[in-house]
Chain A
Amino acid sequence: MGYMEIIIGGIFVNNILLAQFLGNCPFLGTSKKMETAVGMAMAVVFVLVLAGVITWLLYAFFLVPYKLVYMRTIAFILVIASLVQFVEMFLKKSIPALYAGLGIFLPLITTNCAVFGACILNIDKELSFMKTLVQSTAYAMGFGLALILFAGVRERIILSRVPKPLQDTSIGLVTAGILSLTFYAFKGMI
C-alpha cells in the first residue's frame, strides 16, 4: 500500500466518522457551531497523530517482544489518557495560546473512541512506523473534514423550519446518515 493510497483512504474512503462510525459522540456534540467544530478538529489532529505514534512504539517495543499483545486494549487506554494529560500540561506552560484555543476539547478527547480506534486500526494493518504516522494524520484530517462539513450543514439547519419532534439532535442524526451515504460514493476508489 503506497502513501497516496493511505492518505486518500484515510481521509475519504475509510473516513473515521462517516465510514467507520468511530467518535460519533463529539461528531454530534461539537458540531452545532463552526467555531467549536474547528477547535475540536484541531485538537483531534494533534492528539490522534501523537497517540498513533506512541501506541505504535509501545506495541512494537514492549507488547510484541514480551508476548503481551492481548493486553493492548488496556495498555493503549492508559497510555492515551496519560498522554493527553501530559500534552495538556505541556501546552498550558509552553504554548498558552494553543492551550486557550483548544480549551475544553483537549481533555475531552481522552475518552474519544476515534483516537483509540485509529490506533488499533494502525496496528491491525501491520503498518510501518512512517505509514502509521501518515495514516494517523489522514484519519485525523478525515475526522476534521467530516466534522467541519457537518457543522456547516447544521448551522444552516438551525435557520430552517424543522418539525418540532425532529429538532436538534434528531435532525442531526438524520443529516449524519445522509452525509455518511454521500461518503459511500468514495467506496471502490482504492
Chain B
Amino acid sequence: MLSLSAVLFMLGLGALCGVVLSAASKIFYVYEDPRIAEVEFFMAGANCGGCGYAGCSAAAVAVVAGEAPPSACIVADAEAANNIAAVMGVDPGTAEPLLSYNTCMGGDRAPDKYYYMGINSCQALATLYGGKRECPVGCLGLGDCVRACAFDALKMGPHGYPVVDEIKCVGCGACEKVCPKDIMEIKTMSQKLLHLNQYDDRIAPCQQTCPAEIDIPRYIYQIKNGDYEGAVNTIRERNPTKSFAVILRPGLSPSL
C-alpha cells in the first residue's frame, strides 16, 4: 500500500498547487492593454530584433505606449504599418525604409598583396594585414555578409563585391554588423542621397574630388558602351542646376 499513498500524496500536492495557482491567476490578474496583442499580430513575428527592441512583443508594447511609430517593424510591409496605425488610431506616416547599401564597387579590381589560403571568412582574412587586397579599405569578397543575411537579399556579384537585392532587403543590419571593413551600410534613401563624399569613402579619385559628387566611373562606363542617354542621366542625377548640356558626338570626347 506504500505506492498508493505515494500516488495519493502526489495527486493531492498537484491538485493543491493547481488550485492555488489558478486562484492566484484570478486574484492577481493584471489588466493588459488588448491593443498590445492586436499590434503584435500585424508584426512579422520573426523576433529578429531589427527594430531595436528585444522582440516583437516588446516592440508592440512600445508602439502601444506611443514610444515607437506604427511602422516600427522593419520586416512587415506598409500594409501592416497601416493596420497597426488603424489599431492605434494614428496616422501611419511615411516612414522611409532602411536598406543595405554596398559602398565598395572595387572588388576584384584591386590587386592582391599575397595569396590567402585559409578559412573562407572576411573576419579571418581581415586579421592578416587587413586583408589580401592592395586597397586597404575595400571589400574582401569572401562573403561574410552573404552568409549573415537571413533574408537571402545579398549575393556575391561577378566582380568580387556583394550585390544587394533591394526588394528582399529589410534593412535589419546583420550584414553591417558582420563586415570587418564596414562596407555594408544601413541607411534610408534620403541619407544616401544627402551624403557628401568623405575622405575615407571607397570611391575613385575623380569622383572623390568632383564638386558635384557625380558618379564618374559609371558615366565613363556608360559612354564606353554607347549608352549616351544613361550617361546624361548619370550627370543629371547629382547635378545641382540640372541645366548643363552634355554634347556627345561620335568620334569626339564628351565635354561639359
The chain A residues found within 8 Å of chain B, CB to CB, are 62, 66-68, 70-71, 74-75, 78-79, 82, 85-86, 89-90, 92-94
Contacts and interface: CB of A to CB of B under 8 A. Distances in A.
Contacts, number: 43
Interface of A is mostly: helix
Contacts of A68: 5-6, 9
Nearest to B124: A164
10 contacts: A70-B6, A71-B9, A75-B10, A78-B13, A82-B17, A82-B21, A85-B21, A85-B24, A89-B21, A89-B24
> Which of the listed residues A74, A75, A89, A94 has the most CB atoms from chain B within 10 Å of its own CB?
A89
A118 B160 CA distance: 59
A82 B25 CA distance: 12
A119 to B, nearest CB: 15
Contact of A79 (B2, B17, B27, B30): B17
A95 to B, nearest CB: 11
A78 B5 contact: no
A68 B4 CA distance: 11
B6 A89 contact: no
B29 A93 contact: yes
B42 to A, nearest CB: 25
Interface string B225-242: 000000000000000000
A182 B154 CA distance: 50
Nearest to A99: B30
Nearest to B12: A62
Contact of A94 (B10, B20, B28, B29): B28
B10 A89 contact: no
B14 A78 contact: yes
A85 B10 CA distance: 18
Given A62-B9, A93-B29, 4 more contacts: A71-B10, A78-B10, A89-B25, A90-B28
Task: In the A-B complex, list the 10 residue pairs whose CB atoms are closest, starting with the nearest.
Answer: A93-B28, A82-B17, A89-B28, A89-B24, A86-B24, A92-B30, A68-B9, A71-B6, A93-B30, A85-B21
